[in-house]
């Protein structure tokens, strides 16, 4: 069964998906939406849930470096609750430094700044999902 990985921002949502064996995460898309229009993001995520027939979603949980959950984290918790209304298992996953890790990977692959800006969120979603998958295997 495939698992969906999400990196939720205020205007973007990075999406990744696992293989059927649940071993490898790959990027899917960066969904763009109006500032704080999480209903729009939710509607677009539902399409991927159906397309990939996922039963589990791993949603990045932004935390401060001291472990506290701030405003962004509260929004992720709200989004988790919305996803759970679809009957899915939703796992909140610590996303600290995932964007930094994704940025380093893209820089080392010599991806241009312009291209990095377009795909950084989906690559962060890959980092979140891959970390979760690695913990399960």
- 3-136 — its CATH code? 3.30.420.140
Contact 45, 13 (CB under 8 A): yes
Check pLDDT > 90 for residue 135.
yes
Q: What is the pLDDT of residue 44?
A: 96
Q: What is the pLDDT of residue 8?
A: 94
Measured between alpha carbons, how far is 118 from 80 in angstroms, rounded to an integer?
24
Higher pLDDT, residue 13 or 62 = 13
Measured between alpha carbons, how far is 34 from 108 in angstroms, rounded to an integer?
31
Measured between alpha carbons, how far is 44 from 46 in angstroms, rounded to an integer?
5
Domain boundaries, the chain: 3-136
Higher pLDDT, residue 1 or 107 = 1
Please write the tens of the pLDDT for every residue from 57-97. Answer: 999 998 766 767 778 889 999 999 999 999 999 999 988 66
């Amino acid at each position: 069964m495939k698992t969906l990985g999400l990196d939720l921002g205020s205007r973007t949502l990075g999406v990744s998906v696992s293989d059927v064996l649940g071993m490898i995460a790959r990027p899917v898309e960066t969904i763009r939406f109006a500032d704080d229009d999480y209903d729009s993001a939710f509607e677009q995520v539902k399409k991927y849930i159906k397309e990939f027939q996922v039963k589990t979603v791993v949603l990045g949980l932004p935390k401060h470096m001291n472990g506290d959950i701030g405003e962004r984290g509260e929004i992720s918790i709200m989004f988790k609750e919305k996803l759970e209304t679809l009957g899915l298992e939703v796992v909140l996953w610590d996303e600290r430094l995932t964007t930094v890790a994704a940025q380093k990977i893209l820089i080392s692959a010599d991806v241009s700044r312009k291209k990095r800006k377009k795909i950084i969120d989906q690559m962060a979603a890959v980092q979140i999902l891959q970390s979760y998958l690695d913990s399960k295997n």
